Structure 1
Amino acid sequence: MIEQFLWVIFPYLCIAIFIVGHIFRWRTDQFGWTAKSSEFIEKKQLMIGSLLFHIGIIPVIAGHVVGLGVPKEWTQAVGISDELYHMGAFWVGGFFGVVTFLGMLILTSRRFTIKSVRELSSASDLIVNALLLFIVFIGMYSVIGTSITQPDFDYRDSISIWFRKLLIFQPEASFMSSVPLAFQLHILSGFLITAMWPFTRLVHVWSVPLNYLERSYIIYRRHRQNNN
């Protein structure tokens, strides 16, 4: 029963909240969609942390898409052996995981330790930063640590199959029963922040400056120059 809740009910619940929550917030809080900027308070740590985080997170997301969405038979069919695949996941994935973690560590430390930034932050801002830091850390440990302690474990034989079955509405919780705890925590915390997403400043990820061209209520003000 617990496995069924963790690996079937909970993921679907989080996805449903993610979708419905975004629709609800967009229809009721368009003016609060974008994030409050703290750049005017402190720039150096924000710039370094954001740069590292964005450099790392894009390859990390791409690695998740390939690892979860592409069956191992497909990579084997194009000549990528399991050894080569895991070597790439360990070294390349591990490198970008560390870069992402360092960026998130700087951003989280900045939000908690700089008084003026902390005072500008809401409770959800602090929770999101801390949770993102944990997700990145436990994900990095899952790849690097498990590769050392459990070298025979292949997430493509368990997690990837479970995830693809989840997407096609044929969930099988049994695939997750033998998955190491670090991977399980990474997945559960990932779904948790998915459910929190619509109700936090994370929604600004979907904001595009071009959207403002469609808004008729923007007021432009002319600032008079002081000739004195």
Structure 2
Amino acid sequence: MKPMDIPTDVNVGLDDVMLWGVLPYVVLAVLIGGSIWRYRYDQFGWTTRSSQLYESRILRIASPLFHFGILAVIAGHFIGLVIPESWTDAAGISEHAYHIMALSIGAVAGFGTLVGVALLIYRRRTTGPVFMATTRNDKFMYVVLVGALLAGLATTLVNVFDPTVTDYRLTVSPWFRSIWIFQPDIAAMAAASFSFKLHVLWGLALFAIWPFTRLVHAFTAPLQYLFRPYIVYRSRDPQGVGAAPVRRGWAPVGTPDRDRRNIRR
């Protein structure tokens, strides 16, 4: 179902200015400043506090489901918020086709992420050692995270079944892009439907607490692990054990020409 266009008669009040013109920059300052502070003064706590040793059977399913799901959710939000409608039109993607893809892929990604986090919460609640290692900070983080996911799925359902919902590509997306050029389009966000406003507020709350929870480990994901070199083991000397003098441990080894040169010596 095609969303409605943005209404032209939008009244911008003081609450709109505070929510959509001031609050985003407050959250951004907390996110950046809190992350810098945490990295500088709490590097030991900059960790996921892994509980894999306590239980791995459920974690083996829940963790990939949550992490791959949240990556798909982030990619979907990036496409929906950053890429203007004119770009997809120029690429030959009709508005109807775009919304069908966005709703279907978004629903699958959001539902998969929600199932993953539900399994993680179930694991924490039912596994004794994991539950004992769960802090109040973790519980609060899960509440905000699940709230943001539920609000996002709710906007997806409302966008399908409610014909009065405004098009987020004409309201939320322009507002989001305007934030980064320090000219917030408050009127566009004020014209958005309530479900989108609720989802945005939940998202802002999640980013505000991000630096002070275990979610901060996302900023230091071990991406270099994907590009690590192969581990080279020392091979057996071709002359046999004891036939050549023992070389120092830091001497280069492993190439045939170098081995032959050592034999001639």
TM-score, normalised via structure 1 length? 0.86
Stretch deviating more after TM superposition (6-15 or 173-182): 173-182
Instruction: Check if 1:69 corresponds to 2:116.
Output: no
Q: Is the 8 A contact 2:46 2:216 kept in 1?
A: yes
Displacement, 1:151? 6.5
Displacement, 1:132? 0.9
**Structure 2 unmatched runs, 5+:** 1-13, 225-265
Instruction: Check if 1:18 corresponds to 2:31.
Output: yes
**2:145 aligned residue (118, 132, 142):** 132
Moved over 6 A (4+): none
Distance 2:45 2:210 in 1: 14
TM-score, normalised via structure 2 length? 0.75
Please identify the structure whose Cα radius of gyration is greater.
2
Q: Is the 8 A contact 1:135 1:190 kept in 2?
A: yes
Using the aligned pairs only, state the percent identity: 40
Distance 1:152 1:127, change over 3 A: closer
Q: Is the 8 A contact 1:11 1:191 kept in 2?
A: yes
Q: Is the 8 A contact 1:18 1:198 kept in 2?
A: yes
Distance 1:117 1:65 in 2: 34
Distance 1:197 1:12 in 2: 15
Give per-residue Cα distances to partners, 1:36-76, cap 9 Å, x unaligned: 11112222222211121122222211111111001101100
Displacement, 1:128? 0.8
Instruction: Check if 1:98 corresponds to 2:111.
Output: yes
Distance 1:193 1:152 in 2: 24
Matches within 5 A, 1:1-228: 1-150=14-163, 153-209=166-222
Distance 2:201 2:127 in 1: 30
What is the number of equivalent residue pairs in this alignment?
211
Displacement, 1:209? 4.9
Distance 1:208 1:85 in 2: 31
Displacement, 1:139? 0.4
Give per-residue Cα distances to partners, 1:69-120, cap 9 Å, x unaligned: 0110110011000000001011121111111111111112323444432221
Distance 1:155 1:204 in 2: 30
| Matching residue of 2:227 | none
Q: Is the 8 A contact 1:162 1:173 kept in 2?
A: yes
* Higher helix content, 1 or 2: 1
Q: Give the partner amino acid of 2:205.
A: L
Distance 2:28 2:183 in 1: 15
Q: Is the 8 A contact 1:147 1:153 kept in 2?
A: no
Displacement, 1:177? 2.0
Displacement, 1:20? 0.7
SS class of match (2:192):
coil
SS class of match (2:47):
coil
Q: Is the 8 A contact 1:159 1:175 kept in 2?
A: yes
| Matching residue of 1:224 | none
